[in-house]
Structure 1
């Protein structure tokens, strides 16, 4: 569906022109927040990663068993790695156990001291715990340090208080600034320490605690466990309800309050609890290097750092407009998805590294390129960007060659590729030799390719004010539709037989029960295609055939049939059962691409009114998905009732 997205995003600015038909809601392109991940791999599995932090300058450091690390390279979709941080040479001999951000600066815990390179290096506080592993900073450079057994409250190399948790092990320390209090988590107890009175009090007891953080705005302490989390109410001193287990995953490793969200690192990814009570869940290599998230911490520039055994993931929350997002996708397509002018899939990537992939062929090279080309046409129509126009020319060249690369008049190939590699291509049995010595072409073209072609050729002919592009597009519309009409409403392949899916003849279309979607779909598509052909060529044969199919062969009734009638068909032939086995979004894609020509190029206003009803009926069935293509192509009818969010 990403290929559709680019087309739709560039179509949005056309809505004001459409709105002239009626007072429709309008999209105002305001920045919105969307996240992406940047990954930094760690290859030394024997050296565990302990903690990550960032200072106010954006510098990120990671504590590992081998010393300090920092990110190297890395950007969205281009993984970097973690390497030794040698930027300050004299940190190498420090046995650093943990790092945190304090007052915007990086502060370190070693086996001897709490120290920093900020504040002219003046922070240097001995703590007296050889195996110190946990700490946090309070007001005026006071720190609470623990080795899991003992607790030392220190300042200026003085130990102001010593203590421990009776019959429990310290696993976490957090400072609450607005209360001037240190919270201490054990495996089964929660304590609070008052720096003012230098007293430690147990306030809560439970079991299987793993991590925690303080949520001051909620006046809660959030305690992660091996099976859910507990919300401890600071005001009442009581637990809020039962353990929360209705979560994306309940085995919690880490808790962090970052801004208004409470973050949880688990053994199966990370998730954030939002203000509205819903979760944002990040799981799998699309988002993180591995799912065992051991630590969550705030990162620079509105980001979140997720530490796992295999490295560091930085979730970046960026604000951008839809136009900026469309431009981003366009750059992405141009840099790595153009093959012979087609919009192609990048396959064979290793762990999402786009530099390791290759451009692959597809059954639907023509369809995907049609949608991409439509997007560039919309872009040019709105922005007049010469780059968009050049992109249109390049992809139109590829689409046009689909018709000349094979020997069948008016027949579009699915794709073409350099000769000598059929066995390496998908469906090698479908590939045929071309008359050209260096090229092969793919046969068996289907109806989804055909509707994609007619859709985009119509868009180009209507919206692009370049006479060469316009005339070539109209010629291609005429070429394909003449082939279909001349061959009794079939796509006829090199072997003289109809392709498996290129069939619009009534004997085929009306052979399906009315509940099978292909009966409605093929009727809707072919009427749209014939209307488009007539609109641009004014050849009466296209108009006559459309009315013949609609009135003599029931295609109008077919295309107007409500979506609620489409479903499984038990008492039918095997093909009908297969086609009605489940909802097919590929069919939805074909419907909505066809609606461009069905509605915009309707023969008369009466038909246009009926078509609008059919389109809106389909939209209502799809509406819960909030898909951009369904919404915007429905808006083309002038209705006020569609979604902009």
Structure 2
């Protein structure tokens, strides 16, 4: 045992000093510099004002937010609340026709039925006119106020009218000001006010919006946008490769175009497009107005809500700390890491933790993260957290009378949820336990045991504790002819590693490769931890007599649609199960680090790289890091991209992307696209459904709803692995 421990320690020190062997492409660690990421802030309408219709949003020079409604002017208050602005009693009972912000100064102006005014300049500005002539206003940097009615317009300076100006058309869409000049938009034209006359500077078709951007004008249409110069000459072709080409509103600032539509909002800049929709980002998809504050944050208004896209500076370390604290507070159930359910999706405090079929697998991500954290930091808390979460693994072995069999999970008597069939009374009458344990759970067991052995267990007693745990499980499997035997004396549905089962799969089915890999990894680990010769003998028997080594080396390019195979009535081989990727890559860590010799390790390196090659389009940080920590290959850029794009808000919101016109979709082809890569490029994680690592990263839509919250260990494990492997500094 001591010799094996020393060998493991030496190999890990070499890994830390030199990086993984095998020709890795890592050029150096990436420093965790602060970066800017969008965060959703949803404002609540103050109680008592439910049903208020929101119409327009502006932000003044102090970054105060004002919303024009059918009940008057609302504004922002602490706690992300908007409520009626009662600060000026003389205005509190009045409902404006319009509000606007003066360019440069950021002063707020109000338009009422018979006057316009501002509370700045000591309240001196108050231009009066006959009632109900004007419905829109704009204010330039010189203090000129343009008023727009259905049939006429007028310019005021201060309280004095300078001129009445006839409108060039009966219908207008928008009124804007830029560099002291006023611009008017109709469905066919852009006009500029020159010498108290509206001059057409551009004619087009299907125009819906415009944005003034210095010496350019951005024109939105029913089918994309294009740009003109200040004279109206088109300087860029129409672009309709957009999430939603029918544009309602446009903004342009700091090299970024913002678009509001009836199906969310998005921006486009040199780096690409970011798309914001309900439920993660907006209260609903119908965006009727938008504006930017002086920090570049966007305010997206719907008829029912105000939504802010806040561009927050954060670090990966800071996000890890937040998610770890959050997990400890709200996601630990008897030491298991648990997805939370909201009893009321509208109430974020209505959290309930319930068992999951794969508590042992999901908890391995959290426990693994703390093991790697301890390897990096030597923080006592991290080690404590590992042992805390190892206790439920140990209890799963003894909560029932079946020797060496690990249950899925447990719960107090009378409180089990979901499917009740696999549940049985425990030895302790106060508890029930869940059977039907699967290969998913087994993967969690061996991964947990390996990282505790490598990074946490430091005393002979701790080493023996982990060895006894894995010895009990592997003894059960080996002595029961490579099956998990359940409470009914029969093999569980998926806990099967017997050659008759494994080799019944065609070589074109991944189950044959996967189950062979799990078997050998478990036997290698058990031999290393216990020194019992039976495990080594059995491993070589499986590899040599039953072809498990050759099964493990089946090229991933050979895996394809395979019909005609059923297991207990379940059709298999006709689609790709991304849980298999998850099980395989977690197991690769164990397989490689506990190989019997260098010859096998070299074989494992090749098969790991073979699997990683087809995984690269998914840009999964964990698969990259597990590959790098074994065979030495990595896509470092994707690792950092994944970690930065992973939202700190882990709620599983409903998401829709299949309607987008900016996405190049791939055909579903059972042969060429067996793994169901739905699009050419992977969308940012904040725009996709939030899933665990067992889901397709290219999943575009989800109607799951927002009553489930992931624990966050989906981020924590790759983050701390990146730190440990010096991919991230």
Above 0.5 in TM-score?
A: yes
How big is the shift at 1:478? 1.7
Which sits farther off after the overlay, 589-598 or 311-320? 311-320
Conserved? CA contact 1:32–1:319, under 8 Å: yes
Match of 1:62 among 61, 67, 88: 67
Which sits farther off after the overlay, 630-639 or 612-621? 630-639
3-state SS of 1:103 partner:
coil
Q: Describe the superposition over 1:178-237 as per-residue Cα deviations: whole angstroms up to 9, x where unpaired.
A: xx422111233210123xx33320122334433321122xx4322333x22342412562
Between the aligned partners of 2:378 and 2:138, the Cα distance in structure 1 is 56
How big is the shift at 1:63? 1.9
Aligned to 1:433: 425
Between the aligned partners of 1:176 and 1:261, the Cα distance in structure 2 is 17
Aligned to 1:167: 169
Q: Within the alignment, does 1:536 sit opposite 2:536 as a pair?
A: no
Match of 1:40 among 39, 43, 51: 43
Between the aligned partners of 1:436 and 1:89, the Cα distance in structure 2 is 68
Q: Within the alignment, does 1:344 sit opposite 2:338 as a pair?
A: yes
Conserved? CA contact 1:446–1:502, under 8 Å: yes
Conserved? CA contact 2:396–2:410, under 8 Å: yes
Between the aligned partners of 2:579 and 2:379, the Cα distance in structure 1 is 31
3-state SS of 1:578 partner:
strand
Aligned to 1:400: 394
Conserved? CA contact 1:14–1:382, under 8 Å: no
Between the aligned partners of 1:52 and 1:457, the Cα distance in structure 2 is 56
Aligned to 2:83: 83
Q: Give the root-mean-square deviation of aligned CA atoms.
A: 2.7
Aligned to 2:641: none
Cα 1:95/1:256, change in 2 over 3 Å: same
Aligned to 1:269: 264
Match of 1:31 among 3, 25, 34: 34
Aligned residues: 618
Matches within 5 A, 1:112-261: 112-118=114-120, 120-121=122-123, 124-126=126-128, 130=132, 132-177=134-179, 180-194=180-194, 197-216=195-214, 219-225=215-221, 227-235=222-230, 237-239=232-234, 243-261=238-256
3-state SS of 2:173 partner:
strand
Q: Within the alignment, does 1:480 sit opposite 2:473 as a pair?
A: yes
Cα 1:573/1:428, change in 2 over 3 Å: closer
Aligned to 1:9: none
How big is the shift at 1:577? 8.3
Cα 1:353/1:583, change in 2 over 3 Å: farther
Conserved? CA contact 1:98–1:133, under 8 Å: no
Between the aligned partners of 2:78 and 2:428, the Cα distance in structure 1 is 45
Which sits farther off after the overlay, 463-472 or 521-530? 463-472
Aligned to 1:620: 613
Aligned to 1:324: 318
* Unpaired stretches in structure 2, ≥5 consecutive residues: 1-12, 639-729
Between the aligned partners of 2:197 and 2:279, the Cα distance in structure 1 is 46
Cα 1:387/1:163, change in 2 over 3 Å: farther
How big is the shift at 1:410? 1.4
3-state SS of 2:507 partner:
coil
How big is the shift at 1:338? 1.4
- TM (norm. structure 2) is 0.79
Cα 1:608/1:15, change in 2 over 3 Å: closer
Cα 1:536/1:117, change in 2 over 3 Å: farther
Aligned to 2:708: none
Between the aligned partners of 1:301 and 1:396, the Cα distance in structure 2 is 46
Which structure carries more relative contact order (alpha carbon 8 Å, separation 6+)?
2
Between the aligned partners of 1:136 and 1:473, the Cα distance in structure 2 is 72
3-state SS of 1:354 partner:
coil
Conserved? CA contact 2:71–2:95, under 8 Å: no
Cα 1:612/1:290, change in 2 over 3 Å: same
Between the aligned partners of 1:385 and 1:300, the Cα distance in structure 2 is 41
Aligned to 1:77: none
3-state SS of 1:482 partner:
helix
Between the aligned partners of 2:317 and 2:184, the Cα distance in structure 1 is 48
Cα 1:644/1:400, change in 2 over 3 Å: farther
Between the aligned partners of 1:153 and 1:546, the Cα distance in structure 2 is 89
How big is the shift at 1:89? 4.6
Conserved? CA contact 1:269–1:283, under 8 Å: yes
How big is the shift at 1:523? 0.7
Cα 1:299/1:535, change in 2 over 3 Å: farther
Q: Within the alignment, does 1:105 sit opposite 2:106 as a pair?
A: yes
Q: Within the alignment, does 1:391 sit opposite 2:385 as a pair?
A: yes
Cα 1:169/1:461, change in 2 over 3 Å: same
Match of 1:333 among 313, 327, 330: 327
Match of 1:506 among 499, 507, 523: 499
Q: Within the alignment, does 1:50 sit opposite 2:55 as a pair?
A: yes
Cα 1:500/1:198, change in 2 over 3 Å: same
3-state SS of 2:274 partner:
strand
How big is the shift at 1:372? 1.1
Matches within 5 A, 1:373-384: 373-384=367-378
Cα 1:120/1:342, change in 2 over 3 Å: farther
Between the aligned partners of 1:440 and 1:123, the Cα distance in structure 2 is 75
Q: Describe the superposition over 1:287-326 as per-residue Cα deviations: whole angstroms up to 9, x where unpaired.
A: 1100000011113644211100120111112232222222
Cα 1:585/1:90, change in 2 over 3 Å: farther
Q: Describe the superposition over 1:142-193 as per-residue Cα deviations: whole angstroms up to 9, x where unpaired.
A: 232323432222221222232232233232112222xx42211123321012
Between the aligned partners of 2:296 and 2:452, the Cα distance in structure 1 is 41
How big is the shift at 1:470? 4.6
How big is the shift at 1:286? 1.5
Matches within 5 A, 1:410-449: 410-422=404-416, 425-449=417-441
3-state SS of 1:204 partner:
strand
How big is the shift at 1:492? 0.9
Between the aligned partners of 1:574 and 1:404, the Cα distance in structure 2 is 30
Match of 1:454 among 446, 449, 470: 446
Between the aligned partners of 1:359 and 1:523, the Cα distance in structure 2 is 34
Match of 2:519 among 526, 530, 533: 526
Aligned to 2:691: none
* Unpaired stretches in structure 1, ≥5 consecutive residues: 1-12, 75-79
Aligned to 1:5: none
How big is the shift at 1:28? 2.3
Cα 1:509/1:638, change in 2 over 3 Å: closer
Conserved? CA contact 1:213–1:221, under 8 Å: yes
Between the aligned partners of 1:553 and 1:327, the Cα distance in structure 2 is 47
Which sits farther off after the overlay, 483-492 or 619-628? 483-492
Cα 1:99/1:192, change in 2 over 3 Å: closer
How big is the shift at 1:447? 0.4
3-state SS of 1:246 partner:
coil
How big is the shift at 1:625? 0.9
Aligned to 1:279: 273
